Structure 1
Amino acid sequence: MSEDLSSIYARAPAIFRGIRGEIEKVMVGQRVAIEQLLASIIAGGHALLESNPGLGKTLLIKTTAKTMSLSFSRIQCTPDLMPADITGTTIIEEVDGEKRFRFEPGPIFANIVLADEINRASPKTQSAMLESMQEKQVTVGNRTYRLDDPFFVLATQNPIEMEGTFPLPEAQLDRFLMKIKLDYPSPEEEFQIMERYTGRVEPRVQSVASKEEILGLQQIAREVPISEDLRKAAVQLVVSTRNWNGVRYGASPRASIGLVLAAKSRALLDGRNYVSREDLHVMAYPILRHRLILTFEAERRGLTQDQVITDILKELKI
């Protein structure tokens, strides 16, 4: 480990405390969602946040972006949004009497891209994000433009109000490292939310982590040791989803990679230099839930992806 990475590793607990402290100025509760979102960022993956309206998905993403010295852009997805509105377009401008082509970058050229209500964008526009999410580059015309590191698409969607929406295709869902769910707050938490946002001054957030620190933490997370037994358990867990009763299509090998990376990132967030079975157990839900396609009969019985994951974890004793 280089001297710079060693310095960042030594400061990692303080960095994470600072980020969480700033987020908790704005967000009340939702600690599981916050942990999963930070683990996704440290693992270098994209995240899809889902909840009923009004539970703070957009607020959580915007707040997290503010705590880091990263460029941020927001795309409000609508049915009439075009691919060029995301990737950018080539325009003609006149310079010294000559007409020249100039590329005007779109909002995808940012470190953190908030795709709000992504399922309201048309399939053509959704597919425009595939190249950027997988290859971290954008092709416009016959030219390819690299995106700056780090790069994350943090998207939101509502499970209700499905009229006028376009469900994300499985190929694009698989590009998201995690699907994070936000739950309703408890009565005590909701009282705190009311108190915090009906007072004279609303909470403000400041940046507490630099771009170099985020990139360094991503490198450090990959170096967190994991035992061979846990690596085999991760693969066994993912493979089990492909022939489990009630599952039509299971998770791809990308899920095995994501599960280990997410478990390493969670260990680093907790200040540990090793991966535990608990890390695999906790991260299995956000890693797998959007990658499992249930049979029609299972859906008719009311079976959910999270219930399937719970059953597999019990069977494998993870």
Structure 2
Amino acid sequence: MQVRNATKFLLVLAVLFLLGVVLAQSTEQKKAQYDEKVRALKDVSVKMSAQGITTDEYNKLKEQYESLNGEILKLQDELNSDQAYTKKMNDAKLAYNEGNTLFKQGQYDEAVAAYDKSLALDPSNSNAYQGKGLTLAKQRKYDEAVAAYKKAVEADPTNYAAFAAMGKAHYDNKDFSNAVEAYQQAVDINPQRETNIYMLALSYNRIKDTKNAIKYFTMATQVKPDYEKAFNSLGEAYMTDGQVENAINAFEMAISIDEKYDEAYYRLAAANNKTGRYQEALDAAQNCLKVTKKFKGAANFEAGTAAKKLGRLDEAKKYFEAAASDRQWRKSAEYELDLLSKGL
């Protein structure tokens, strides 16, 4: 399936390229024919003006003249049509480029207008629909953005970037089932874009399809072996699926890629606590505390849990007290402190 889509993608690109080449060659050929016939017409005109020609000779030359003149007029019409088409396509490209510039400048309403102008001239431009969709998504007009992306993939069914952008619009709009469908299309067309694979896995995760989430997080790490974020998310998915040993391996891979990856340290600590590896859990939690701001509460709680299990109660108390300063962890930490105060 993936090979067939990739082949189709390359064929479409080749066809588009050849169409441009053929049009250019056709126009050049017509210009050459036009010039040749104009020269021939001049020669016939000179012969018609020559002295001493007979009436029959003159009439034959006149027929040639009229035939050449008709052919010249036809070629002129065709060349004018080619030039008009070329101008139209150039104007469409200018409007498209203007839309891109306005998008980068944050002038989103103006960018949409420029993309619409381009599409009015060239409704087959998949990239212009995609640019319009990206702009509408920036304005959080997700339904309109999706409609534009659908036009983009209708114009070019191999435009995996438009499918991915459609997936993101659905994801940001919390429409995770449709996000899965769009990202799946993007990945089927181009299975080498790790960010699209990762987002497909996240989308599966959001609809609680853990098996497919694991499948595509794994695929993302295969495409990009140093993708630490994918390893961390893979570990989370394994934890959800009850595969704690695989989760630990994934978290350790994330940390081996980025030794300051605070979230991976915290989740590794939690996984080790779950398997009774309390010293490893304490080490991971302490490493997290060295580098984190965001996960201080979580890391302190996991460190307290590990220290308590190791019988280091004073140390556990210190960690739980630190965790209690984090609003998210306060209730759990205070519960553990209450147990410690009772000798439990």
Shorter-chain TM-score above 0.5: no
Question: Which of the two has greater strand per residue?
Answer: 1
TM-score by length of 1: 0.25
Tell me: higher relative CO, structure 1 or 2? Use CA pairs within 8 A at least 6 residues apart: 1
Could you state the TM-score of these two structures normalised by the residue count of structure 2?
0.24
